[in-house]
Each structure stands twice: as C-alpha cells, then as structure tokens.
C-alpha cells in the first residue's frame, strides 16, 4: 500500500469579535473552555497551568484525552505553545506541537487569532486534515464579548 505524502504543518486563522485581553484571558488560563469540544482539564504536574513545564490533561467530549506539556507562554506577544505528549486513544503520530498567537485588530478592537500545528513526518493526511477542521470549528464557535451595539454569543 502506497502512502500519499502530505504536509505536516497546519495553520488556520480567524478574527474574533472580542478584545485581545478577553481572548488572551480565555486562551492563556489553561482551561480550554473556549474550545467547545473540551469537557474539562486537570493539572497533572506543576503549580499552575500557566507554569512553564506544566502538564495538563485535556478531556474531550468524545472521550478522547490529551496530556499536554506547556513549553512557552508570553503575555507580551500573546502566544502559547504546547506539545501533546500522550493521547488516549493513541493517535498514529509521533509528535504534535501547537502554537496559538493573537494580534489586536486596531480598526475594530477585535482579535486576529492564528493556530498552527506541526506534526512529525509520520502524520497521515487524515490526522492533518482533522486538525485543520477542528481549528476552524473552534474559531466558528469561539465565545465573544457582548457589544453595546448588538448582542453576540457569550459563554
């Protein structure tokens, strides 16, 4: 059986109708409550989910879970990087590295969010494509602030 080579780098982006401080508060707290497919998180090691080197278990509503290792977090550049070190059930890929970065959209006080993932070269096109779809779905359902001019979704 022949395997079709695929890119092992996925980048998706969106503009969220919330201030960068609001979006950063949701992204940087380690709870993943902004991602509607997440059931909850548990701090497995470290004193805080914001501590470099912390290990956090992320449980998904479909029964899957990830153990992530926090590698980088910057309140200055509004970015976070974490590695998925274990999956249950196992995913057929050796390594997964996620980075999420934010930029302020100055014309509207919205937030540009970019989420990239680098997979090891053993990732299948199905794994890479699934990652892309999940990012787009997360952006589409991202909680937003209430605006004085119109009501928007708030979780």
Q: Which residue has the higher pLDDT, 24 or 148?
A: 24
Q: What is the pLDDT of residues 64-113, one digit of tens each?
A: 999 999 999 999 999 999 999 999 998 889 999 999 999 999 999 899 99
Contact 57, 42 (CB under 8 A): yes
* 7-61: pLDDT as tens digits: 689 999 999 999 999 999 999 998 999 999 999 999 999 898 889 999 999 999 9
Give residue 97's pLDDT.
Answer: 97
Burial class (CB in 10 A: 0-12, 13-18, 19+), 132: middle
DSSP labels, 103-123: EEETTTTEEEEEEEEEE-TT-
pLDDT of residue 53: 94
Q: Structure pTM?
A: 0.86
């Amino acid at each position: 059986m022949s395997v079709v080579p695929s890119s092992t780098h996925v980048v998706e982006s969106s503009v969220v109708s919330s201030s960068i401080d609001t979006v950063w508060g949701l992204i940087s707290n380690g709870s993943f409550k902004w991602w509607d497919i997440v059931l909850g998180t548990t701090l497995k090691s470290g004193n805080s989910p914001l501590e470099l080197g912390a290990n956090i278990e992320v449980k998904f509503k479909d029964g899957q879970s990830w153990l992530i290792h926090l590698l980088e977090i910057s309140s200055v550049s509004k970015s976070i990087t974490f590695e998925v070190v274990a999956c249950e059930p196992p995913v057929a890929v050796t390594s997964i590295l996620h980075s999420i970065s934010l930029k302020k959209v100055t014309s509207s006080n919205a937030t540009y969010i970019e989420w990239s993932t680098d997979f090891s070269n053993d990732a299948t096109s199905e794994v890479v494509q699934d990652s892309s779809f999940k990012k787009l779905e997360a952006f589409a359902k991202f909680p937003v602030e209430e605006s004085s001019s119109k009501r928007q979704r708030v979780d």
